[in-house]
């Protein structure tokens, strides 16, 4: 049986990408039994009825599943942050990183609008970029205006399902347009002034970009730590997690425990203090979270 990947779902049809062809498939009750609704991003087994049409027989196990936008098997998130307008925020970046890590998605940090930075701002951003690289992240400095750093992004899209994420106005649509000029996603300039969100009425769709697939709708619209437990947080900060292997106590939360290697590393400047501050803030936020029923 042929296999493929759902790249678009619309009006009861699933568009399955397989062997460089797109087959329009219907579902046939199979997944209704096990309560699986096929999602864009799903790997499926299908039966072809002819060159163009078929029906889905099976939805393979998912590696992850985002709710907004509804999409499965996301490999990678391009976290888009502007250097200025709005100003770069490590607190917000760390929040996105935690959510992405928790979903077992690989983050790529992309700092846009570098063309708008003053010399001092430029230096500051470069310092942050070095910090995050030392923490193990990929960081790209870009400008959709001058196309600085755009080419460097392509290889990271290869063979992956990527979503772009980031606050409104940071330059996600501009970046997608710069990567793929045929796309013509409207930028905030036009759409927000018309009073309608640019993506509200549209279905999510995976578009081909280079040798990868990119969701045409930004991900991680909710930034709350709904399901994350206090003990998970360590794993969502890979730099802190690496250090925590040297903590005296297993399961050390790096707050009041003695002989904590993470706190020691903050003292010596080996780990950036702001990462630890955000870790503590998020821990508190999770602690204060009202129980869900």
* Residues of this chain that bind Zn ion (CB under 5 A): 247, 252, 254, 260, 262
Closest C-alpha to 171, from 154, 201, 146: 146
Is residue 174 involved in binding ligand GDP (CB under 6 A)? yes
* From ligand GDP, Zn ion, none, interface partner of 171 (C-beta below 5 to 8 A by class): ligand GDP
Closest C-alpha to 104, from 155, 69, 65, 133: 65
Name, in order, each residue with C-beta under 8 angstroms of 144's C-beta and a sequence gap of 6 or more.
112, 113, 150, 171, 174, 175, 177, 178
Residue nearest ligand GDP, Cβ-based: 171
Considering only residues 183-222, where is the footprint of ligand GDP by CB under 6 A? 187-189
Is residue 83 involved in binding ligand GDP (CB under 6 A)? no
DSSP-derived secondary structure letter, 205: B
Nearer to ligand GDP, 14 or 164 (CB): 164
Is residue 5 involved in binding ligand GDP (CB under 6 A)? no
Task: Tell me how far the alpha carbon of residue 40 is from its chain's centroid.
Answer: 15
Torsion, CA 52, CA 204, CA 157, CA 219, rounded to 10: -160
Q: At closest approach, how far in Å is the CB of 160 from ligand GDP? A: 20
Is residue 232 involved in binding ligand GDP (CB under 6 A)? no
Considering only residues 124-163, where is the footprint of ligand GDP by CB under 6 A? 143-145
* From Zn ion, ligand GDP, none, interface partner of 131 (C-beta below 5 to 8 A by class): none
CB 170 within 8 A of CB 82: yes
* Site for ligand GDP, rule CB under 6 A: 112-113, 115-116, 143-145, 166, 168-174, 187-189
């Amino acid at each position: 049986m042929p296999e493929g990947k759902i790249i678009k779902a619309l009006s009861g049809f699933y568009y399955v990408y397989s062997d460089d062809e797109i087959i329009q498939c219907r579902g046939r009750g199979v997944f209704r039994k096990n309560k699986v609704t096929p999602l864009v991003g799903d790997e499926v087994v299908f039966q072809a009825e002819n060159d163009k049409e078929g029906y889905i027989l099976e939805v393979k196990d998912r590696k992850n599943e985002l709710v907004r936008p509804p999409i499965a098997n996301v490999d990678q998130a391009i976290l888009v942050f502007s250097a200025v307008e709005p100003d770069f925020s490590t607190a917000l970046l760390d929040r996105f990183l935690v959510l992405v890590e928790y979903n077992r998605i690989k983050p790529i940090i992309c700092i846009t609008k570098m063309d708008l930075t003053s010399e001092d701002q430029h230096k500051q951003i470069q310092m942050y970029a070095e910090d995050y690289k030392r923490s193990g992240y990929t960081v790209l400095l870009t400008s959709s205006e001058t196309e600085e750093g755009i080419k460097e992004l392509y290889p990271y899209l290869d063979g992956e399902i990527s979503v772009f994420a980031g606050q409104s106005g940071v330059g996600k649509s501009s970046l997608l347009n710069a990567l793929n000029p045929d796309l013509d996603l409207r930028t905030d300039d036009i759409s927000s002034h018309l009073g309608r969100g640019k993506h509200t009425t549209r279905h999510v769709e995976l578009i081909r970009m280079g040798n990868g697939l990119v969701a045409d709708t930004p991900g991680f619209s909710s930034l709350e730590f709904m399901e994350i437990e206090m003990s998970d947080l360590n794993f969502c900060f890979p730099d802190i997690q690496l250090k925590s292997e040297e903590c005296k106590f297993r399961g050390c939360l790096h707050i009041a425990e003695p002989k904590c290697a993470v706190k020691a590393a903050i003292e010596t400047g080996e780990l950036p203090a702001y990462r630890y501050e955000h870790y503590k803030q998020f821990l508190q936020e999770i602690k204060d979270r009202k129980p869900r029923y």
